[in-house]
A and B are shown apart, each in its own frame.
Chain A
């Protein structure tokens, strides 16, 4: 199956710093990438939809200036958490949609962010 890689797997940062998370599709071109956030013992909540070469579409309640998404190529999307605070500590997961869509989305391994 298709492989989606996220980096870093985990990161700890100080409050006020910015953190960038990468999502790469290793063996296919991803026309669309979805970014999810998961708080402890909760389900995945969609944050934004990113189409290659276009501005991301954010879900209601998600601050676009805080969570910057870049999807400059068909194999890479990045999520930058700007001026991170402890309440941003969460598990961030990306999901990639292949250009030749078969109905299945492919998920990265997730990135755990802890803001001190």
Chain B
């Protein structure tokens, strides 16, 4: 059974700082890995999707990497802004798993002025 863990659970940084969020998964037979953002009381916003054959994806100030062999993915946020404050979730889709996503525990990010 796939298990997804995110470290740290919470993170507070000053504005402008670069930061890395970590995601680890136990089953390396993944179809893809996705990163989402969730604002309080809201649904999910898809940030980046990395296919199993890819090593990284970039969108603006966000860069996500994937290392299947080690069961890890990272989300790099450059020049953080207060508007980046949210909970970030990673989710792994297992090959042959019926397209189900297994979500990580989330990292609650606060970017302070």
Name A's B-contacting residues (CB within 8 A).
1, 6, 32, 34, 36, 42-46, 49, 57, 91, 93, 95, 97, 101, 103-110, 112
Contacts and interface: CB of A to CB of B under 8 A. Distances in A.
B101 A103 contact: no
B99 interface: yes
The interface size bin for chain B is 20 to 34
Given A93-B43, A103-B31, A108-B43, A49 B103 contact: no
Nearest to B41: A112
A106 B99 CA distance: 12
B23 to A, nearest CB: 11
Contact of A107 (B46, B99, B106): B46
Contacts of A57: 98
Which label, helix, strand, loop or mixed, suits the secondary structure of the A interface? strand
6 contacts: A46-B100, A97-B99, A101-B99, A105-B34, A107-B36, A107-B43
Given A43-B89, A44-B89, A103-B93, A34 B46 contact: no
Contacts of A43: 89, 103-106
Contacts of B106: 43
Contact of A34 (B36, B89, B100, B105): B100
B49 interface: yes
Contacts of B34: 104-105
A53 B72 CA distance: 37
A49 B43 contact: no
Given A44-B89, A46-B101, A95-B101, A107 B44 contact: yes
Contacts of B101: 34, 44, 46, 95, 105
A109 B43 CA distance: 4
